Amino acid sequence: MTAVIMDGNAVGKAVRGRLAARVQALAKRGVTPGLAVILVGENPASRVYVRNKVKACTDTGIHSVLVEYPADATADTVLGRIRELNADPTIHGILVQLPLPPHIDVDDVLATISPSKDVDGFHIESLGALLAGKPDFQPCTPHGVMEILDHYEIPLSGRNAVVVGRSNIVGKPMALMLLGRDATVTICTSKTRDLAAHTRNADILVVATGRPRMVTGDMVKPGAVVVDVGINRDADGRLVGDVDFDSVKDIASHITPVPGGVGPMTITMLLANTVVSAERAAG
Ligand code: GUN
């Protein structure tokens, strides 16, 4: 049997349609949601991501401000601008695109963003709220994965969920979100012994390692739901995930493709967080 393809473009479009209606309702009250995106340096992938985020804002009726700095900008310059944006009533969300140049301390930058405008959900306060089971702004990629799972009505309670990857941006918050829905969660890392023994136990398998096609069909339980967070280029320059789609699609019950799976949901949840922030500001 071939797996159901979980279509992030379609789920994202549906969510964005609902957001556009909320943006219109805010407009009637004289409020336009505003997102500031800060980009430091020339990382080509970051440029593409930032361009896509700005375009998605425009398409949804969200005002966006792109603040660009050269790679040698000082930390003080960036922190100073974040403080200005914290105080700017037309801005409801602030996002600093990662990675930053090595001379800028990412923890300082994230800590300077006001938690009330932390639409990326990377501030320690936002992550702590998630840990405490009282989520506020949630990191966009794992939040988008939850939207996809819910859209396809994947049951989570009591099921074995395995997350491969432990980043603060994806793996750890993903595990907490699944735990919050009463899944039995295992987090695997690059140090995990016999990774396949863990992944084969997964009813829901989320892979976020940054290693192209590392999860193959023999590592997946028949009927499992497989979510691929990876975006990599293979030797031929093609976009591929962390999951070997061709060998897994005949074993899983559901699978996200790359591209067109989790990727579109990350930006969608950023827009959602920005709209929520604007609604709060509007009272
Ligand atoms: N770099 C890679 N993914 C992300 C993201 O979701 N947000 C930000 N700010 N930087 C990133």
Does residue 108 contact residue 78 with C-beta atoms inside 8 Å?
A: no
Please identify which of the residues 13, 24, 28, 53 carries the catalytic annotation. Answer: 53
Where in the sequence is the domain holding 115, given as residue range(s)?
Answer: 30-129
* 170, 254: one domain: yes
* 86, 109: one domain: yes
Question: Is position 53 annotated as part of the catalytic site?
Answer: yes
Q: For 244-271, b where at least 16 C-beta lie within 10 A, e where not — what string?
A: bbeebbebbbbbbbbebbbbbbbbbbbb
Residue 275 lies in a domain: no
Q: Which of 109, 129, 149 is the last residue of a domain?
A: 129
* 123, 151: one domain: no
* CATH number of the domain that residue 216 is part of: 3.40.50.720
* 145, 115: one domain: no
* 61, 98: one domain: yes
Residue 9 lies in a domain: no
pLDDT at position 188:
98
* 146, 225: one domain: yes
Residue 271 lies in a domain: no
The sign one gets for the Cα dihedral 39, 40, 45, 47 is positive
pLDDT at position 169:
96
- Gap from CA of 124 to ligand 1 centroid (Å): 15
Question: Is position 72 annotated as part of the catalytic site?
Answer: no
- Gap from CA of 190 to ligand 1 centroid (Å): 21
pLDDT at position 56:
97
Q: Is 95 in the pocket of ligand 1 (CB under 6 A)?
A: yes
On the CB side of 147, CA atoms within 13 Å amount to: 28
Complete DSSP assignment for 176-197: HHHHHTT-EEEEE-TT-TTHHH
The sign one gets for the Cα dihedral 75, 108, 120, 142 is positive
**pLDDT, tens digit (0-9, with 9 covering 90-100), for 76-117:** 999 999 999 999 999 999 999 999 999 999 999 999 999 999
Please identify which of the residues 118, 120, 228, 244 carries the catalytic annotation. Answer: 120
Q: Which of 271, 201, 49 is nearest to 279 (CA)?
A: 271
* 116, 152: one domain: no
Does residue 195 contact residue 225 with C-beta atoms inside 8 Å?
A: no
* CATH number of the domain that residue 98 is part of: 3.40.50.10860
Could you give the number of structural domains in the chain? 2
- Gap from CA of 145 to ligand 1 centroid (Å): 15
**pLDDT, tens digit (0-9, with 9 covering 90-100), for 253-280:** 999 999 999 999 999 999 999 999 999 9
Residue 20 lies in a domain: no
pLDDT at position 177:
98
CA distance 239 to 230: 9
Verify cis geometry, omega within 30 degrees of 0, for the bond prior to 259: yes
Residue 195 lies in a domain: yes
For the chain (length 283 residues), average pLDDT per consecutive 10?
A: 95 97 97 98 95 97 98 98 98 98 98 98 98 98 98 98 98 98 98 98 98 97 98 92 98 98 97 98 95
